[in-house]
């Protein structure tokens, strides 16, 4: 139950201190490719940075706090290197999985080539 004076954001950031929770949280966002996904990923990374500690994270990844905030801002576009270094520092491993069975992808390509 939420304590008086604590917001959803505060509670979520508290939970994101757990790397397993943070990995699941980010995974759900990465698996939802609906409109606004990029913005949701940036918000998630910003929340995760707050949970870890921005100063500690920036020291670990070799970026300034200002550079991190810019990368994770609404209009930010972090490089793959920055994205992966943040995940590594947070103890999160990026994994890939097929979104559709291989046969389905092959059928789509054949239809497109006709």
Report d(CA 25, CA 16) in Å as an integer: 8
Report d(CA 51, CA 56) in Å as an integer: 10
**Single pTM value for the model:** 0.79
Residue whose C-alpha is closest to residue 63's, from 47, 38, 85 = 85
Distance of CA 107 to the CA centre of its chain: 31
Question: Is 82:61 a contact under the CB 8 Å cutoff?
Answer: yes
Give the pair of three-digit tokens for residue 55: 């100063």
pLDDT in tens, the chain (114 residues): 555 567 999 999 999 999 999 999 999 999 998 999 999 999 999 999 999 999 999 999 999 999 999 999 988 999 999 999 999 999 999 888 887 766 665 555 555 656
């Amino acid at each position: 139950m939420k304590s008086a004076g604590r917001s959803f954001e505060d509670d979520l950031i508290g939970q994101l201190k757990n790397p397993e929770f943070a990995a699941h949280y980010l995974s759900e966002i990465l698996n939802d490719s609906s409109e606004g996904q990029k913005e949701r990923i940036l918000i998630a990374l910003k929340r995760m940075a707050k949970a870890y500690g921005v100063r500690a994270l920036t020291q670990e990844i070799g970026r300034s706090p200002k550079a991190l905030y810019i990368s994770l801002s609404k209009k930010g576009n972090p490089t793959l290197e920055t994205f992966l270094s943040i995940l590594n520092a947070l103890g999160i491993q990026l994994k890939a999985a097929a979104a559709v069975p291989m046969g389905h992808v092959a059928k789509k390509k054949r239809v497109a080539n006709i």
